[in-house]
Amino acid sequence: MELYNLKHPAERVNFAEAVRRGLGQDQGLFFPTEIPRLNLDDAFWQGDFVHRAQRVLGAWLNDELGEETVNALVRDAFNFPLPLVPVEANQHCLELFHGPTLAFKDFGARFLARTLSLVAQDAPMTILTATSGDTGAAVADAFYGLPNIQVVVLYPDGGISELQEKLFCTLGGNVHTLKVSGSFDDCQGMVKAAFSDAPLKAQFGLTSANSINIARLLAQTVYYFEALAQLPAEQRQQAVFAVPSGNFGNLTAGLLAKAMGAPIRRFVAATNSNDTVPRYLKSGQWQPGPVHATLSNAMDVTSPNNWPRVEALFAHEGWPLAELAGERVSEAETQARLKAMHQVGYLSEPHAAVASEALVRQLEPGEVGVFLGTAHPAKFQGAVEAVLTLTLPLPPALAAVQEKAVLSEALPAEAEALKAMLRARL
Ligand SMILES: Cc1ncc(COP(=O)(O)O)c(C=O)c1O
């Protein structure tokens, strides 16, 4: 597989190097030079999830890593179910939260951890990432205890739920967590600054594990095919996907799946009131405003880092950007949607509710809607309990960490503070 840097198209790397480096020169995102087209025969749709995922990821990676290696990586990484659950007459939720940390990030993080240890060539490595909630838990879980790898996770103080914090800030060992007095965008800025410091990057073998890493993105393409496989065959050509979006990694993965041949009719990019993209799609003006705190706080992002890839994909495929719908969903609408789903017997959480509401607005006759369920409702226990006035039982993975002590270190929102921390601790 060959990739190029979107900022410096002459910079070309193979998959292993793109995974190790995360970002190219000047923090340019890596993007594939070619997108493989899949042969979606009956055997593809009739096989099981692991078999399908092997076909999808094999199309990208078999030439570089070998079919047996890719098959083993896939089998090992994706060992949990992902049911497509009917919610209402024409809406289904693709539940991506049945992995070890109860969020869709488990797909990308588990595949990345396994790929990275495969391509690391025994060099010591530091995974440096910012999280708005779920990435931290998924990355920490996926890399915890791996030899030769340190993990450093930044998160905004007060910007994630208490349970999310417990899930990844109580591990210790090779996992270092930093509570930053700033926003998620500040955390992303600090990570970027560390990556652009070449000596620092070389000294600690810095690499990213957030959705800018191409391995995570490729891993996420598999579940779009899975949703289609679980739909009745006669509905497979009518699917519209609503994607709850913050950094737009999930949407990028869906678009890659479509470019590979997944018969997806169209996508709806659903955001909360941090609506840089829906406004841009309507006005053509890119105007990120200040960050608003919302119930769907993992999507409180106004400068989405994967957006250049979305535009590159539309250009690569010759699709007009006007084909992408954008919907901004307010807090009141999110709450009303959560209640409406609960009334028909489906318990959800704010991120998925944003996407579900976008589908309600967008779905046309003859279409079938799928929204992504990106996190288990219990991960947003406080918000869900307050909106629905009920008590949520904790699933075992969360109950187990509830009593543990948070081990995070506090840090001001300054790039230099992060660099000093790395030098002192690693
Ligand atoms: C629960 C949840 N939903 C949706 C998103 C948005 O995904 P993306 O950043 O890929 O757009 C996130 C991102 O962290 C998330 O944690």
Tell me how far the alpha carbon of residue 271 lies from the centroid of ligand 1, in angstroms.
10
Sign of CA dihedral 374, 380, 386, 392: positive
What confidence tens digit (pLDDT) does each residue in 297-347 have?
989 999 999 999 999 999 999 999 999 999 999 999 999 999 999 999 999
What's the helix, strand, coil split of the chain in %, to 5? 50, 15, 35
What confidence tens digit (pLDDT) does each residue in 77-102 have?
999 999 999 999 899 999 999 998 89
Using the atom order of ligand 1, give the atom closest to the CA of residue 349: 1
pLDDT band at 123 (very low <50, low <70, confident <90, very high): confident
Q: Calculate mean pLDDT across residues 388-413.
A: 91
* Residue 419: inside a domain: no
Residue nearest to atom 10 of ligand 1 (CA): 249
Tell me how far the alpha carbon of residue 63 lies from the centroid of ligand 1, in angstroms.
31
Q: Residue 393: what pLDDT?
A: 87
Lowest mean pLDDT among 191-195, 267-271, 367-371: 191-195
Residue nearest to atom 14 of ligand 1 (CA): 298
* Residue 403: inside a domain: no
Q: Residue 137 to residues 129, 132, 319, 335: CA-CA distances in angstroms?
A: 11, 10, 35, 25
Using the atom order of ligand 1, give the atom closest to the CA of residue 133: 16
Using the atom order of ligand 1, give the atom closest to the CA of residue 105: 16
Tell me how far the alpha carbon of residue 268 lies from the centroid of ligand 1, in angstroms.
15
* Residue 136: inside a domain: no
8-state DSSP, 212: T
Tell me how far the alpha carbon of residue 24 lies from the centroid of ligand 1, in angstroms.
23
pLDDT for 106 beyond 80? yes
pLDDT for 53 beyond 80? yes
Q: Calculate mean pLDDT across residues 22-27.
A: 89
Q: Which of 165, 187, 277, 299 to mutate to test the pocket of ligand 1 (most atoms within 8 A of CB)?
A: 299
The whole-angstrom separation of Cα 355 and Cα 338 is 11
Q: Residue 93: what pLDDT?
A: 98
The whole-angstrom separation of Cα 301 and Cα 373 is 19
* Residue 6: inside a domain: no
Tell me how far the alpha carbon of residue 68 lies from the centroid of ligand 1, in angstroms.
31
Pocket lined around ligand 1, Cβ cut-off 6 Å: 103, 132-135, 211, 244-250, 298-299, 351, 374-375
The CATH number for 317's domain is: 3.40.50.1100
Residue nearest to atom 15 of ligand 1 (CA): 298
pLDDT band at 55 (very low <50, low <70, confident <90, very high): very high
Q: Residue 136: what pLDDT?
A: 84
The beta strand positions in 238-312, using DSSP E, are: 239-244, 266-271
Query: What is the C-alpha end-to-end distance of the chain, expressed in Å?
Result: 33
- Host domain of residue 248: 81-103+214-388
Tell me how far the alpha carbon of residue 197 lies from the centroid of ligand 1, in angstroms.
28
Q: Residue 25: what pLDDT?
A: 93
Using the atom order of ligand 1, give the atom closest to the CA of residue 249: 10
Q: Residue 118: what pLDDT?
A: 86
CB 253 within 8 A of CB 224: yes
Q: Which of 218, 303, 351 to mutate to test the pocket of ligand 1 (most atoms within 8 A of CB)?
A: 351
Tell me how far the alpha carbon of residue 173 lies from the centroid of ligand 1, in angstroms.
26
Residue nearest to atom 12 of ligand 1 (CA): 298
Mean pLDDT score across all residues of the chain: 94
Tell me how far the alpha carbon of residue 246 lies from the centroid of ligand 1, in angstroms.
5
Sign of CA dihedral 131, 137, 142, 146: positive
How many domains are contained in the chain?
1
* Residue 149: inside a domain: no
What confidence tens digit (pLDDT) does each residue in 198-243 have?
999 999 998 877 668 999 999 999 999 999 999 999 999 999 999 9
* Residue 95: inside a domain: yes
Q: Tokens 């998925």 label which residue? A: 352
* Residue 168: inside a domain: no
pLDDT band at 23 (very low <50, low <70, confident <90, very high): confident
Q: Residue 207: what pLDDT?
A: 83
pLDDT for 24 beyond 80? yes
Tell me how far the alpha carbon of residue 299 lies from the centroid of ligand 1, in angstroms.
6
Tell me how far the alpha carbon of residue 352 lies from the centroid of ligand 1, in angstroms.
10
pLDDT for 355 beyond 80? yes
Using the atom order of ligand 1, give the atom closest to the CA of residue 132: 14
pLDDT for 254 beyond 90? yes
Using the atom order of ligand 1, give the atom closest to the CA of residue 380: 1
Instruction: Report the range out of 160-169, 225-234, 377-386 with the highest average pLDDT.
Output: 225-234
Tell me how far the alpha carbon of residue 42 lies from the centroid of ligand 1, in angstroms.
32
* Residue 185: inside a domain: no
What confidence tens digit (pLDDT) does each residue in 132-155 have?
877 788 889 999 987 778 999 999
Helices vs. strands in the chain: H and E counts, helices first: 18, 14
Residues in the chain: 426
Q: Residue 370: what pLDDT?
A: 98
Residue nearest to atom 13 of ligand 1 (CA): 298
